[in-house]
Amino acid sequence: MKKYFKFIFILPVLIMASCSEEFVTIPVQDASTSGNFFKSEVDVRAATAALYGSPWFQFNDKFNWAAGEELAGNLYHTWDQEGQFFYYSYNAGNAHIRSGWLSLYRVVAIASSIINDMPVFATAIPQDVQDRAIAEAKFARAVAYFILTEFWGEVPIVENVTAKVVNNEVSNPKNTKESIYEFIKRDLEFAASKLPLTDTPGRATQWSAKGYLAKTYLTMAQYYSKKDATKATEFFNKSKTIAADVIDNSGLKLMENYSDLFLMENNNNPESLFAIQFMQGSYSIGNSLQANFARSSLITGNTEAWGGGKCMTYDFLQDVNPNDKRKSAIYMDLGDVYPDINKANGGYKYFIVNRDPSDPNKVLEGASPTLNHLKKYVVGSAQDHPGKVSTGQATAINQYMLRLADVYLVYVEAAIGLGDNTSDGKALGYLNTIRNRAGLPAKTSVTFRELLKERRVEFGMESMYWYDIKRFFYRDQTAAVDMLSNQKREYVFDRDQSSTAADENTKAGYVLRIAGNNGVVPFNPANINVPIPASEVVLDPMLAPDVPAVDYNF
């Protein structure tokens, strides 16, 4: 017996052996799986909440304004890759084109997971809840594709991202613009039919979808204006009808005071139809535009202030009426005072040059090339707004994507339609409401070009003007190219060497210099779209410029 006694030590081996399969099955402990996530409506709402926040961040961080405002000739900024948009000298290697693209397609992917994958896992969730979630996802997807096609032109439509990846269908053709507009229209129509009339402020409603639908029809109408007048007219009319529906029936209304639109406490105000939802905290969940636009640390309270050299172009300034109430909300000009910024020191007063009072040799803030600095989306420091601003380039100001004012002006443009101007009473009523808020006199008739100018200022630094120029380009390429090529972009101010030191804070102390190529940057119509990023073409050669786009198979 004693001899075999020692064998009992081998027993654990036999015991362990029997349970090994169980031993090596370990469920995930710190996350849900898609399979067990969707238990109730709350979970579905948590999934759709993703459509409003950080997936848009990379798009908004640089591309939205660098492309949106510089291509359009509103923003003077010539530096590095951001400045390439100012000169139309970007190419497929541009970093911001790439991150804008990836960000928009991330929105597409998240929408796709809600549209296609969620129903598979959410079998216990009522159909109407699912439908509403799908409608929110289709709305976000439509917005992403609208931006994609207006900037890149022809891009691939991907309905089910997971299926494409799993089936290794990783080379896809670009789709035609006609297909993309149709795709956007279908998504928005679905969204308009399933979204509620009201929801938690900030969430997409039926009115958000209809607002975008009006804008999409307007864009389509201009796109078809030279190709198919019947279709164009039909789309103008649809745009008008839907815009009127939103204006008259939504219960939404314009903010009384234009500058109040850009206060953080007015996030999701009744004028907002869709805005990217931002919060303070850390990088990628907050709005980074203050970091990009603010002139100096005196405004932001930290080093995230890279707007010292950014200003509105001389060309933009020419379109702003000196009495326009919108002016100081768009950019900072000599004498402007902002009580909300630098509150501890009684507010921020704008000087062309700001010297250290204790050491006049030390320039705290220098002059910009056009003697102004950016204001919109600049809100102040963490001290000014506790709980709403933090480092990590994060302010809690939402980024407007669609305002009711836009729908007003969409109606006006649709009313002009294929003609050159309109005196339509309803249209002028909408236009004059906007002008009245800006403190400008009413008009009795408006031309397309005048409307364009109105939009340029109304949405200044909201990255909307390039879309307007695109519609102009669709309806009259020659005129649009001519307008861009003659913008006074490189008109800059130099210190007048003959002047005295005392007048550095007067505009008289500076002289206008026409720099570069006679101050203009000629526009080549071939640049109307930005290129698909080189890194994408490398992975999917079907996206190369010389491979033709195909119609989408609906």
Partner 1 sequence: MRKLYLVLSLFFSCLAFAVGQKSITGNIVDQNSEPLIGVNIFVKGNESRGTLSDIDGSYTISAKEGETLIFSYIGFKTQESLIGTSNSIDVSMSPDALVLEDIVVIGYGQSKKSDLTGAVSSVSGEQLRTNLTTNIDQALQGRVAGVQVTQNSGAPGGAASIRIRGANSINGSNEPLYVVDGLPFTGNGASTIGFDWAGGANGQNRVNPLSTISPNDILSIDVLKDASATAIYGTRGANGVIIITTKRGKKGESKISYNTYYGLQTLRKKLDMMDMAQYADYNNQITRDLEITPDQRYADPSLLGRGTNWQNEIFTDAGSHSHQLSVVGGTDRTSYAITGGYFKQDGTVIGSDFDRISTRVNLDNKVKDWFKVGASLAFSKTSEKITLNDGGDGVIIQSLLTLPSVSVRDIEGNYDGPESQFGTNYNPVAAALQRNNTLSRQRLMANLFGDFTIGKGLVFRSELNFDNNHSVGKAFQPTYKWGVLENTENRLRQNEDNSFFWVIKNYLTYEKKLTEKHSITAMLGQEAQKSNYFGNSITVANLPSNDIQELVQGGTVIGNPGSYKGAQSLASYYGRFNYNFNELILATFTYRGDASSKFGPGNKWGYFPSGSVAVRLSQMEFLKNSSLVTNMKLRLGYGLSGSDNIGNNLFEPLMRPFQTPFGNAYVPGNIANPDLGWETTAQANLGLDLTVFKDRLDVSIDVYNKNTRDLLLQSNPPGYLSGIAPPFINIGKVNNKGIDFSLNSRNINRNKFSWNSDLTLSVNRNKIVELESDGKVYYRNLYWYSEFQTVTATTVGMPIGMFYGYQMEGVFKDQQDILNHAVQISDKVITETRPNGTNLVSKNQGVWIGDVKFKDLNGDGVIDTDDQTFIGNPNPDFTFGLNNSFNYGAFEFGVYLTGSYGADILNHTRSVLEGQTGIFINQASTVFGRAQFKYLDPNGSTTDPANVVLANPGTNIPRPTTNDNNRNNRMSDRFIENGSYLRLQTLRLGYTLPSSLTKRVKMERLKVYANVSNLAVWSNYSGYDPEIGAFNQSSLVQNVDMGRYPTPRMFTLGLDVDF
Footprint on residues 387-426 left by partner 1 (CB under 8 A): 390-393, 396
Q: Which of residues 237-276 bind partner 1 (CB under 8 A)?
A: 267
**Which residues, 6 or more positions from 476, have their beta carbon under 8 angstroms from its beta carbon?**
none
CB 95 within 8 A of CB 109: no
Contact status: 26 vs partner 1 (CB under 8 A): yes
Rule CB under 8 A: choose which of 179, 208, 277, 372 binds partner 1: 277
Contact status: 382 vs partner 1 (CB under 8 A): yes
- Only one of the segments 183-191, 217-225, 330-338, 509-517 lies at the binding site for partner 1 (rule: CB under 8 A); that segment is 509-517
The 3-class SS string of 46-94 reads: HHHHHHHCHHHHHHHHHHHHHHHHHCCCCEECCCHHHHCCCCCCCCCCC
Question: 505 is written with which tokens?
Answer: 């804070």
Contact status: 347 vs partner 1 (CB under 8 A): no
Question: What are the backbone dihedrals phi and psi of residue 496, each rounded to the nearest 5 degrees, phi first?
Answer: -75, 110
| Rounded Cα gap, residues 301 and 295, in angstroms | 11
Question: Toward partner 1, which CB reaches closer, 113 or 216?
Answer: 113
What minimum distance in Å lies between the beta carbon of 280 and partner 1?
8
Q: Which of residues 183-242 bind partner 1 (CB under 8 A)?
A: 200, 202-203
Question: Toward partner 1, which CB reaches closer, 10 or 248?
Answer: 10
| Rounded Cα gap, residues 109 and 159, in angstroms | 9
| Rounded Cα gap, residues 446 and 423, in angstroms | 7
Question: Toward partner 1, which CB reaches closer, 164 or 449?
Answer: 164
Rg for the chain, CA atoms, rounded: 27
Task: List, in sequence order, the alpha helices (H) in 417-533.
Answer: 425-437, 448-458, 465-475, 477-485
- Only one of the segments 98-106, 255-263, 315-323, 432-440 lies at the binding site for partner 1 (rule: CB under 8 A); that segment is 98-106
* Residue 115 DSSP class: I
* Polymer length of the chain: 554
What minimum distance in Å lies between the beta carbon of 212 and partner 1?
20
Number of residues forming the site for partner 1 (CB under 8 A): 121
Q: Which of residues 290-329 bind partner 1 (CB under 8 A)?
A: 296-297, 301-306, 308-309
Q: Residue for token digits 């693209």?
A: 101
Question: What are the backbone dihedrals phi and psi of residue 542, each rounded to the nearest 5 degrees, phi first?
Answer: -65, -15
Question: Toward partner 1, which CB reaches closer, 282 or 436?
Answer: 282
Rule CB under 8 A: choose which of 40, 170, 197, 227 binds partner 1: 170
Contact status: 499 vs partner 1 (CB under 8 A): no
Instruction: Please provide the distance, in angstroms rounded to a whole number, between the alpha carbons at the two ends of the chain.
Output: 81
Rule CB under 8 A: choose which of 60, 74, 94, 206 binds partner 1: 94
Rule CB under 8 A: choose which of 129, 164, 340, 552 binds partner 1: 164
- Only one of the segments 165-173, 233-241, 408-416, 466-474 lies at the binding site for partner 1 (rule: CB under 8 A); that segment is 165-173
Three-class SS state of 276: strand
Nearest to 441 by CA among 327, 324, 329, 330: 324
Question: Toward partner 1, which CB reaches closer, 294 or 415?
Answer: 294
Three-class SS state of 275: strand
What minimum distance in Å lies between the beta carbon of 278 and partner 1?
7
Question: Toward partner 1, which CB reaches closer, 184 or 320?
Answer: 184
